[in-house]
């Protein structure tokens, strides 16, 4: 993105350890790249509110959609999984667009940056040679998905220039579970529409039971806000449980839920599958845990499965009008390496586009 926004008379080079640009774009959104979201505000991110909002204000999701339109990239509104999401026909189209727009850029691919030194200019040490530059923009992302080229280089460079990096954790990943929730694993493959509550956040959407624990869009989003301790699920979000209590059917038939799920749930709370109308007060109370099932995840699926890295380079040490380091001149940080992490639904790409725009605008006015 950045290369395509910079004025053509600037000498720009992009260094990437991958053989092709846009490795994450390629696999994102099931290879259809969830490029942005209809409504994007700082509320969709973990990070310093004003910093995030100022950057989003400079380059909104509408501006990204206009940019796509101008460059003949078709975007498709699709709310099947997450509200407000825009996808593309194919992730390949996104990478093709950026490749065309970056025709003036010198690429050093298959080249891994190992260190950044500064005297009166920068020396970028790489796996093959040193590259010299007046200004350096770090856009090397987080440490999730090593298989796609991720490394800790952004944090290493930031620290070498006295930047602080907040605690890093894998996020937008499924949860592993503790012994009390091992019954989730028996339901591997079952999907349900639920409401998840974690801290002050609630998410409506699907969960998916998995052999490792529990996943699905609202669980991925919960993993962003979960630190330790309890979260809760409402397995029957659009229904009042009391409306079923007159039925003479067994619980597993009376409730509008997958039978396999209800049977496993009842076993987990030690409640027999009998006529729902025959439940006494205490049994009804037990059944009400369906509406507020509290559990403490054991952890999450980790960096190999996490779509993002939560935490990063502290934003108080980066200028939100230019993305330049406040500690080191001509050094810039954009995208996921910063301590800004978005929810599932196009928010992480949007922050990458917006921060790239802010940086490009500053560099263009500075030549």
| Site residues for ligand FAD per CB under 6 A | 15-18, 23-24, 27-29, 33-34, 112-113, 139-141, 144-145, 149-151, 153, 307-308, 335-337, 346-349, 352
Q: Which is nearer to ligand FAD, 25 or 254 (CB)?
A: 25
Distance in Å, CB of 82 to ligand FAD, minimum: 9
Distance of closest approach, residue 328 Cβ to ligand FAD, in angstroms: 18
Nearest-approach distance from CB 358 to ligand FAD, in angstroms: 13
Q: Which is nearer to ligand FAD, 45 or 235 (CB)?
A: 45
CA–CA gap between residue 196 and residue 82 (Å, rounded): 14
Cα–Cα nearest to 268, from 173, 175, 177, 176? 177
CB nearer to ligand FAD: give 3 or 213.
3
CB nearer to ligand FAD: pick between 112 and 247: 112
Smallest gap from residue 95 Cβ to ligand FAD (A) = 11
Provide the 3-class DSSP secondary structure of residue 153: helix
Q: Please say which residue, 24 or 195, places its beta carbon nearer to ligand FAD.
A: 24
Give the three-class secondary structure for 125.
Answer: strand
Number of residue whose CB is nearest ligand FAD? 335
For the chain, how far is it from start to end, CA to CA, in angstroms?
19
Of the candidates 360, 359, 316, 305, which has an alpha carbon nearest to the alpha carbon of residue 338? 316
Q: How far apart are CB 103 and ligand FAD at their closest, in Å?
A: 19
**What SS3 state is found at 195?**
strand
State which residue, 79 or 272, has the beta carbon closest to ligand FAD. 79
* DSSP one-letter string for 42-84: GGGEES-HHHHHHHHHHS-HHHHHHHHHHTT--EEE--SSSTT
Least separation in angstroms between residue 60's CB and ligand FAD is 15
Among 265, 268, 287, 267, smallest CA distance to 276 is for 287
DSSP 3-state of 161? coil
């Amino acid at each position: 993105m950045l290369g395509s926004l910079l004025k053509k008379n600037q000498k720009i080079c992009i260094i990437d350890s991958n053989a092709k640009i846009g490795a994450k774009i390629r696999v994102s959104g099931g290879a259809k790249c969830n490029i942005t979201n209809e409504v994007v505000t700082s509320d969709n991110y973990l990070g310093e509110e004003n910093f995030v909002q100022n950057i989003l204000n400079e380059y909104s999701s509408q501006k990204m959609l206009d940019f796509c339109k101008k460059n003949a990239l078709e975007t498709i509104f699709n709310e099947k999984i997450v509200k407000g999401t825009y996808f593309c026909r194919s992730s390949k189209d996104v990478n093709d667009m950026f490749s065309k727009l970056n025709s003036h850029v010198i690429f050093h691919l298959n080249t891994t940056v190992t260190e950044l030194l500064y005297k009166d200019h920068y020396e970028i040490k790489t796996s093959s040679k040193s590259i010299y530059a007046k200004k350096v923009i770090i856009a090397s992302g987080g440490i999730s998905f090593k298989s796609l080229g991720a490394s800790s280089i952004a944090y290493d460079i930031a620290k070498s220039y006295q930047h602080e990096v907040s605690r890093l954790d894998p996020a937008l990943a499924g949860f592993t579970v503790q012994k009390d929730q091992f019954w989730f694993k028996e339901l591997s493959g079952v999907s349900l529409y639920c409401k998840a509550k974690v801290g002050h956040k609630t998410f409506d959407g699907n969960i998916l039971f998995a052999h490792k624990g529990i996943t699905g869009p609202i669980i991925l989003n919960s993993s962003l806000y979960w630190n330790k301790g309890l979260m809760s699920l409402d397995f029957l979000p659009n229904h009042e449980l009391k409306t079923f209590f007159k039925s003479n059917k067994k619980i597993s038939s009376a409730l509008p839920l997958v039978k396999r799920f209800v049977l496993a749930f009842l076993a987990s709370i030690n409640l027999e599958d009998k006529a729902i109308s025959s439940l006494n007060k205490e049994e009804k109370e037990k059944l009400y845990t369906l509406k507020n099932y509290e559990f403490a995840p054991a952890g999450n699926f980790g960096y190999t499965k996490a779509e993002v890295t939560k935490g990063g380079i502290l934003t108080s040490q980066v200028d939100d009008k230019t993305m330049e380091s406040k500690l080191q001149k001509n050094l810039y940080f954009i995208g996921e390496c910063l301590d800004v992490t978005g929810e599932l639904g196009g928010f992480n790409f949007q922050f990458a586009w917006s921060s790239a725009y802010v940086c490009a605008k500053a560099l263009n006015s500075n030549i």
